[in-house]
Amino acid sequence: MSDKNSQSVSYVRETFLEQSPPPLKEAGVVKWMRENLFSGWANSLLTIVAIYFVVNIIIDVWPWFANGVWNTKSLAECREILQGANAACFSVLQERGNQMLFGIAYPADQYWRPTLGFVLLFIAAGPVLFNKLPKQMLYFSAAYPFLAFWLIWGGTILTPIMIALGLIAGYYAFTNVERLKGFALGVVAGVAAATVCVWLGGFISGALPGLIALEVIPSRDMGGFMLNMILGTICVSLSLPLGILLALGRQSDLPIIKGICVVFIEFIRGVPLITLLFVASVVLAYFFPPGTNLDLILRVIIMITMFSAAYIAEVIRGGLAALPRGQYEAGDSLGLDYAQNMRLIILPQALKISIPGIVNVAVGLFKDTTLVSVISMFDLVGAIRGPILGSTDWTGVYWEAFGFAALLFFVICYGISQYSQWLERQLRTDHR
Amino acid sequence: MAEAQMKISDEVAIEIKNMNKWYGTFHVLRDIDLTVQRGERIVICGPSGSGKSTLIRCINALEEHQAGQITVDGTLLSSDLKNIDTIRKEVGMCFQHFNLFPHLTILENLTLAPIWVRKTPKKEAEETAMHYLGKVKIPDQANKYPGQLSGGQQQRVAIARSLCMKPRIMLFDEPTSALDPEMIKEVLDTMIELAEEGMTMLCVTHEMGFARQVANRVIFMDAGQIVEQNEPEEFFNNPKSERTQLFLSQILGH
Ligand SMILES: Nc1ncnc2c1ncn2[C@@H]1O[C@H](COP(=O)(O)OP(=O)(O)OP(=O)(O)O)[C@@H](O)[C@H]1O
Ligand SMILES: [Mg+2]
């Protein structure tokens, strides 16, 4: 308290009362248990039954887990060691773990490449997911897709660089033409510039296939959990912007755009994902001119992206509908144009409302990437079901192998879910 | 009252000629003719559903009119997006339910449009924002979110938000009717101050005290038509049409 103040004010409190602690509601474990576990005979009964089940499960599973065998060459050897005891044979993870992670065909001496890509993914995702990190890191995030492509598929580094340059050229063409000639021509100019640059760049990277090159690994050799991660990451990050566009398109006043979006969303939502995947693997080839051999992974990515974009669009539409009309009108009356209004006012609020729904779709999508095993791609589940369980050494290690798969998926999905809850808390500004 | 400042110039701010509007087949506004000089303070009143909100919302193109002409500050309001943008930059609007942006702080609410529409540098926009927050007497709330303010404070922020765009005309659509009685005064005081500075204002309101104090013209609407308009003294003491008399006896009667 400053002197000046205490002179001009007749009474100023100089010493503050000591803060008294808030009343202790949860005083002691016993009280907590009485309130939460044993309040009334019905609750007590339920508690006891639940404890009985949990304890039983632990008693059964723990020795199976703890006595697991880790160092054998086959299931038969395992059984010999265990002599009929109830225990796991984790040797399959030791022996075939790398195949579960990277697929059957990915060359073992190149495992470091997807591993590095996986680690860098976290660095790239950081500044996108947490806005407290320095903004400069976003440059790395922008470069990451190209870097990851080069790491996983290999070839000369010129290929991704040329594609990146093409996109940058397209972006510049778009912004410059859009300012002068309007949005539609801007898009045309952007696409044209990007195509030309990528096409020309193709000659350059074609001429120098050995420049800073990694061993080329074809798409059909991708597999294991790596394939699930590739599909999941790419499809989630593509389907979110696509879903936003579809949702906005569905709300549009322009009948043609609205019509296209409605038909697309309703059609895609009405078809099972498996069907779309079969279309990707077999039928889609008919739509392209003979000779063009669109990469199978690319086709699958297109299908899964379209599928989840349709769902995300509907989730976001719900968020848009939840906003009062006054929010649109306030932006309009301040003179913001449509794009600014959407970007600065409507979408931030609509997306915030939609977070639980979007995360729901994202988690579902990530798990649905295992469906590619039905079109004979050996993702984590496909690799276990096919080559690993199919080999004479390991037929019958269901619990261990699928338990491992479940664990991997659970870690990622639980992480996404925790992140989204954290994000919702961060964005809570309405103080309702 | 600072009468000297509340001068009305000969310059025309808004000119509405023979304007008609329909919602589907429902004819909401019929043959509206209205000329507003720069510096005029107009209060629009009338029974619920008479089209008051619709009328002022047509002026900044939140609603489209189907026939007739609206000219704001010399710009003809048409479906041309450029004209609409020009007009919206010059016309500020305050809504019954404030419509602040709940995801942005008060300061961000105020600087958003100057930064993105007027391309004002951020620092300058923040200075202007603090200036207007000072005017509406809540500069200390700049970093709170709208949800943390009282209704009256929110409406004053909304007024400040419009003022940050330096509009030449302000529209108010029942700015006090969502407020508790003790908060109405603080908002009206802000509006009176604004009027004294010579802002051209169109106010839909049922605050007749406000109308007497600041308005130079009161317009009475019923069933989509302007039934009567006059200076406040004349309007309240000598209403000409029967409908006006009935309306006034209802809202002043109790
Ligand atoms: N979007 C709309 N679609 C159809 N009819 C509408 C729409 N908005 C308003 N109306 C109708 O137009 C008429 C005028 O509405 P307006 O909101 O202008 O009335 P108001 O005079 O502002 O009334 P209040 O004092 O209740 O705000 C009302 O009968 C209303 O039902
Ligand atoms: Mg109204």
Q: Going along A190-324, which residue ranges are E strands?
A: 213-214
What's the mean pLDDT in A54-66?
Answer: 88
Q: What is the pLDDT of residue A24?
A: 61
Check pLDDT > 80 for residue B253: no
Average pLDDT, chain B: 90
Q: What is the 3-state secondary structure (H, E, C) of A56-123?
A: HHHHHHHHHHHCCECCCCCHHHHHHHHCCCCCCECHHHHHHHHHHHHCCCCCHHHCHHHHHHHHHHHH
Average pLDDT, chain A: 86
Residue A6 banded pLDDT, cuts 50, 70, 90: very low
Ligand 1 neighbourhood includes B50 CB (under 6 angstroms): yes
pLDDT tens sequence across B46-84: 999 999 999 999 999 999 999 999 999 888 988 888 889
What's the mean pLDDT in B194-213?
Answer: 90
What is the residue-wise DSSP string for B100-148?
A: --TTS-HHHHHHHHHHHTS---HHHHHHHHHHHHHHTT-GGGTTS-GGG
pLDDT tens sequence across A176-228: 888 787 778 888 888 998 888 888 888 887 777 777 878 888 888 888 999 99
Ligand 1 neighbourhood includes B25 CB (under 6 angstroms): no
- Is B225 within 8 Å of B31 (Cβ atoms)? yes
Residue bearing the CA closest to ligand 1, atom 24? B48
Q: Which residues contact B93 (CB under 8 A, 6 or more apart)?
A: A333, B56, B60, B62, B162, B170, B171, B172, B173
Q: What is the pLDDT of residue A293?
A: 66
Q: What is the pLDDT of residue B23?
A: 93
CB-based contact B117 A326, cutoff 8 Å: no
What's the mean pLDDT in B88-92?
Answer: 92
Which tokens in the block code for residue A246?
């579809």
- Is B23 within 8 Å of B49 (Cβ atoms)? no
Q: What is the pLDDT of residue B79?
A: 81
Distance (Å, whole) CA A223 – CA A219: 9
User: Does ipTM exceed 0.85?
Assistant: yes
- Give how far A113 is from chain B: nearest CA, Å: 42
Interface of A with B in 270-329 (CB under 8 A): 324, 326-327, 329
Check pLDDT > 80 for residue B111: yes
Q: What is the pLDDT of residue A81?
A: 84
Ligand 1 neighbourhood includes B53 CB (under 6 angstroms): yes
Q: What is the pLDDT of residue A10?
A: 54
Distance (Å, whole) CA A72 – CA B51: 85
Bridge partners (DSSP) of residue A127 are: none
- Nearest residue on chain A to B117, alpha-carbon basis: A336
pTM for the model: 0.85
Q: What is the pLDDT of residue A3?
A: 47
Domain ranges of chain A: 24-66
Residue A163 banded pLDDT, cuts 50, 70, 90: confident
- Is B187 within 8 Å of B175 (Cβ atoms)? yes
Question: Which ligand is nearest the CA of B30, by number?
Answer: 1
Q: What is the pLDDT of residue A4?
A: 46
Q: What is the pLDDT of residue B2?
A: 46
A390: nearest Cα among A18, A99, A15, A77: A99
Distance of CA B73 to the CA centre of its chain: 16
pLDDT tens sequence across A313-333: 999 999 999 999 999 999 999
Q: What is the pLDDT of residue A259?
A: 95
Q: What is the pLDDT of residue A115?
A: 92
What's the mean pLDDT in B191-213?
Answer: 90
pLDDT tens sequence across A249-292: 999 889 999 999 999 999 999 999 999 998 888 876 677 666 66
- Give how far A331 is from chain B: nearest CA, Å: 8
Check pLDDT > 80 for residue A140: yes
